Amino acid sequence: MSPTLESFVTVAPESHFPIQNIPFGVFSTAQNETPRVGTAIGDLILDLHVIAQAGLLDGIEGLNNPASVFGQSTLNDFMALGRPTWRATRAAIQKILSKDNAQLRDNQELLSKALVKQADARMHLPAKIGDYTDFYCSREHATNVGIMFRGKDNALQPNWLHIPVGYHGRASSIVVSGTDLHRPAGQRITPQNKTEPFFAPSAKLDYELEVGWFVGTGNPLGKRIEVADASEHIFGMVLVNDWSARDIQAWEYVPLGPFLGKNFGTTISPWIVTLDALEEFRVSGPSQASPEPLAYLKENKDTAYNIDLEVQIKPSNSSTYERVTLSNLKYMYWSVTQQLAHHTVNGCNMQPGDMCATGTISGPDNESFGSLLELSWNGTKKISFKDGNERTFLEDGDEVNMTGYAKSSAGYIIGFGDCRGKVLPCLYQ
């Protein structure tokens, strides 16, 4: 695909959605409340159900009934078709949107039905997420948290450099960007009283900056996905805010790991950006020379991605967002393909629409720390905002906005849009 390809739809230079992106999402409008599949182009959405019904997506190999696949309220059916079909569909959409193609460009009647302003649309979860797994794959994040919990000398657990550590999360509480969440309440202890818990709203509500990836084609129970084939099974990526209640987590996590401190809500960005759109941003990741991973995790190509990741907070009494984190997906130690190979190495079956997240992506500088736990060093350092606000953890009314983008050498940006949510007061005391 040509990096100079242009669309007849006007796309601002700073837009996350040029014709080179073509992400997939599910939307509805006030005029048509039925959720259906679309792609983002500039500030608009191209309704893939409408153009499929008009026959514009006929003849794509593997996509036998485009009007049915894109008339669904989830992407699961499309995800199940496999990467060659995702790739051919993306190429066909690029052709339809390109400046030199009159087919849609000059069909006013179809255009008026097929293009919708993003500002007028409501985004939905892009898939029915059967299962959700959250990894813990940033060495810097694991080290920072390890230092806080166990001290500098054994910050990383002995398994960490051998295994992409993860836990099974909760799919039911994954919500789409723009959904506000109530502060959770739960059992906590205090440093003064370490054995007798009390019940109260969390006082240490945090965000975690993560990237999520969707399984497209899965694997049958008992049969693993090889690391070299893993990218053929991954449909694409989203941004993830893994909201975390640090005080609930600290008391409950022994010995089985995260539970109610995590499963009260996880926010994702609505547009799934395909691996094909991200291909040009592949770079080599952190060295895995010492120790070398076991054979089933060994990769011999660049599988990290150079994608800038930001977190901005709008304090409750403020009208502007201020950036608190600037990180990058390339810092992540275990790649998404290693995560998938590891997840299935015991024969665990993945299904279309399953979602995995990377874990908090922190980098080497304190500016790149992907959580308030790290930025405030467990509440011991205040984060100052230009307008006079200070935070250690989130307060009621605070809004968190995450974004991710990569700049091509050809000038355009491939981005994820935003992953946003507001903290509402706790409903329980």
Ligand X SMILES: *[C@@H]1O[C@H](CO)[C@@H](O)[C@H](O)[C@H]1NC(C)=O
Catalytic residue (one of 49, 141, 342, 343): 141
- Residue 420 binds to ligand X (criterion: CB under 6 A): yes
Give dist(CA 356, CA 215) in Å, integer: 8
Give dist(CA 399, CA 253) in Å, integer: 27
Residues 206-235 contacting ligand X, CB under 6 A = none
339 is in an annotated binding site: no
194, exposed or middle or buried, with CB in 10 Å at 0-12, 13-18, 19+? Answer: exposed
b/e per residue, 331-355, with b = 16+ CB within 10 A? bbbbbbbbbbbbbbeeebbbbbbbb
- Amino acid at site 385: F
- Residue 244 binds to ligand X (criterion: CB under 6 A): no
- Residue of closest CB approach to ligand X: 388
Query: Quick one: which H or E segment has residue 190?
Result: strand 185-190
257, exposed or middle or buried, with CB in 10 Å at 0-12, 13-18, 19+? Answer: middle
210 is in an annotated binding site: yes
141 is a catalytic site residue: yes
Residue with tokens 């039925």: 34
Q: Judged by CB under 6 A, which of 64, 65, 366, 408 binds ligand X?
A: 366
- Residue 39 binds to ligand X (criterion: CB under 6 A): no
Check if the beta carbon of residue 129 is closer than 8 Å to that of residue 353: yes
- Residue 388 binds to ligand X (criterion: CB under 6 A): yes
In Å, what is the CA distance from 63 to each residue of 57, 83, 143, 350, 353? 9, 11, 45, 22, 18
- Residue 271 binds to ligand X (criterion: CB under 6 A): no
- Residue 200 binds to ligand X (criterion: CB under 6 A): no
- Residue 321 binds to ligand X (criterion: CB under 6 A): yes
422 is in an annotated binding site: no
Identify which of residues 24 and 321 has a Cβ nearer to ligand X in the complex.
321
Size of site (CB under 6 A) for ligand X: 24
- Residue 286 binds to ligand X (criterion: CB under 6 A): no
* Least distance to ligand X, CB of residue 13, Å: 13
Q: Judged by CB under 6 A, which of 111, 148, 165, 326 binds ligand X?
A: 148
- Amino acid at site 278: L
- Residue 317 binds to ligand X (criterion: CB under 6 A): yes
> Reduced to 3 DSSP states, what percent helix, strand and coil does the chain have, rounded to the nearest 5?
25, 30, 50
Greatest pairwise CA separation for the chain in angstroms: 72
* Least distance to ligand X, CB of residue 135, Å: 20
Give dist(CA 167, CA 259) in Å, integer: 10
The answer for residues whose C-beta is within 8 angstroms of residue 143's C-beta and 6 or more apart is 155, 156
Stretch that binds ligand X, among 38-46, 288-296, 312-320, 325-333 (CB under 6 A): 312-320
- Residue 108 binds to ligand X (criterion: CB under 6 A): no
Stretch that binds ligand X, among 71-79, 86-94, 120-128, 373-381 (CB under 6 A): 373-381
Identify which of residues 49 and 246 has a Cβ nearer to ligand X in the complex.
246
- Count of CB atoms within 10 A of residue 43's CB? 14
Q: Which residues are annotated as a binding site?
A: 134, 136, 150, 208, 210, 242, 249, 253, 262, 266, 360
Q: Which positions are annotated as active-site residues?
A: 141
Residue numbering of the annotated binding site for Ca(2+): 134, 208, 210, 242
Q: Give the binding site for ligand X (CB under 6 A).
A: 148-149, 191, 193, 196, 198, 250, 312, 317-318, 321, 366, 375, 378-379, 381, 383, 387-389, 401, 403, 418, 420
Per the annotation, where are the binding residues for substrate?
A: 136, 150, 249, 253, 360
